[in-house]
């Protein structure tokens, strides 16, 4: 009887040992997060450090660019575990090609589209309709940059696109657009509200009129080819916590309801 009890206890210990290893494996290793440029500040400054405080054994590598470029990189086989897009278009395209883990997409955040000018600007631009007064307008390339797609949508809706398209400088990502306006090389630009809040050298003069542009949704999803899906899942789940959402809201985002 004693031998049976000892054997039973040994088996239980062995099972618990494996369970412990399995639990550890869920939060170990390295993941690469490919995120829209507009997420860089909050990710690097607070979000990733907060995640690492809970998951110290997971190393988070990041790559930032326009969502369109990141989509292309993932399609080409880039080593990415988590994709955070600035629009549903790119996320949906990857999902339709079967490149994302099934049911992993979360419509996480909402942003706003705003019109900015240099902080020391003395021009008379104070509304979207005034953008025609600018000699040079900076927007993201509508072909690959979500902020540019939203900008074109808003300007088209307001019957302004044809008037400013010829004097527009097209940025490869929203950060480039922001910098052009901050430096004064563009009289006005269209970016996300969160980007404008990150640079004191620009000021917001108007928000895109309601009804002129689609809701700006930031989704997150797990790439099916991820080599560390458990850690990727832990990261995506963390992004949905109150702690993470409060950090994101402090940078101007709002949780998507």
d(CA 89, CA 72): 13
> Per the domain annotation, does 20 fall within a domain?
no
- For the packed helices 88-96 and 67-75, what is the interaxial angle rounded to 10 degrees? 10
Residues in the chain, total:
257
Considering the domain architecture, whether residues 35 and 64 belong to the same structural domain is answered as yes
pLDDT digits (tens, 9 = 90+) for 203-238: 999 999 999 999 999 999 999 999 999 999 999 999
Model pLDDT for residues 73-94, shown as the tens digit of each residue: 999 999 999 999 999 999 999 9
> Could you give the number of structural domains in the chain?
2
Residues 41-69 pLDDT 10s: 999 999 999 999 999 999 999 999 999 99
Q: Is 229 contained in some domain?
A: yes
Residues 203 and 137 in one domain: yes
Question: Are 178 and 119 in the same domain?
Answer: yes
Decide if 11 is inside a domain.
Answer: no
Which residue is listed with tokens 């997150």? 220
Indicate the pairing of strand 254-255 with strand 106-111: antiparallel
* Claim to verify: residue 119 and residue 64 sit in the same structural domain: no
76, 117: one domain: no
Does residue 8 belong to any structural domain of this protein?
no
Assigned domain for 171 exists: yes
Nearest to 129 by CA among 115, 140, 117, 139: 115
**pLDDT (0 to 100) of residue 23:** 39
Q: Are 123 and 42 members of one domain?
A: no
Q: Are residues 117 and 198 in the same domain?
A: yes
d(CA 149, CA 213): 10
For residues 184 and 130, membership in a common domain is answered with yes
Alpha-carbon gap, residue 83 to 190, rounded angstroms: 24
Q: Residue 12 and residue 90: Cα distance in Å, rounded?
A: 48
Average pLDDT over residues 126-142: 96
Q: Count CB atoms within 10 A of the CB of residue 247.
A: 20
Q: Residue 7 falls within a domain, yes or no?
A: no
101 and 143 assigned to the same domain: no
DSSP secondary structure letter of residue 220: E
Mean pLDDT calculated for residue range 193-204: 93
Do 159 and 186 lie in one domain? The reply is yes
CA–CA dist 116, 43 (Å, integer): 23
- 117: which strand partners? 203
pLDDT at 122: 86
Whole-number pLDDT of residue 18: 43
DSSP letters, 63-103, are EEE-HHHHHHHHHTT---SEEE-SSHHHHHHHHHTT-B-TT
In this predicted model, what pLDDT tens digit does every residue of 18-29 receive, in sequence order? 444 443 345 799
Domain boundaries, position 251: 28-110+217-255
Has residue 191 been placed in a domain? yes
Domain annotation covers residue 126: yes
CATH number at residue 74: 3.40.190.10
Burial class (CB in 10 A: 0-12, 13-18, 19+), 10: exposed
């Amino acid at each position: 009887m004693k031998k049976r009890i000892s054997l039973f206890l040994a088996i239980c210990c062995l099972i618990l040992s494996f369970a412990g290893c399995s639990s550890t494996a869920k939060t170990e290793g390295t993941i690469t997060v490919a995120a829209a440029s507009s997420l860089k500040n909050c990710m690097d400054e607070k979000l990733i450090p907060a995640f690492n405080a809970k998951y110290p054994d997971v190393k988070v590598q990041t790559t930032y660019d326009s969502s369109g470029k990141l989509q292309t990189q993932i399609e080409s086989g880039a080593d990415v575990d988590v994709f955070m897009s600035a629009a549903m278009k790119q996320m949906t395209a990857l999902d339709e090609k079967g490149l994302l883990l099934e049911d992993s997409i979360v419509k996480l955040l909402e942003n706003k589209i705003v019109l900015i000018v240099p902080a020391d600007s003395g021009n008379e631009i104070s509304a979207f309709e005034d953008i025609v007064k600018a000699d040079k307008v900076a927007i993201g390339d509508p072909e690959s940059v979500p902020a540019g797609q939203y900008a074109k949508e808003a300007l088209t809706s307001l019957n302004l696109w044809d008037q400013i398209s010829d004097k527009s400088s097209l940025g490869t990502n929203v950060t480039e657009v922001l910098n052009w306006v901050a430096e004064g090389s563009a009289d006005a630009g269209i970016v996300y509200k969160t980007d404008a809040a990150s640079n004191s050298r620009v000021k917001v003069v108007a928000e895109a009129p309601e009804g002129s542009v689609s809701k700006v949704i930031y989704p997150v999803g797990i790439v099916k080819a991820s080599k560390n899906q458990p850690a990727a899942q832990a990261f995506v789940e963390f992004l949905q916590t109150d702690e993470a959402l409060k950090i994101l809201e402090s940078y101007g985002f709002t949780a998507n309801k």
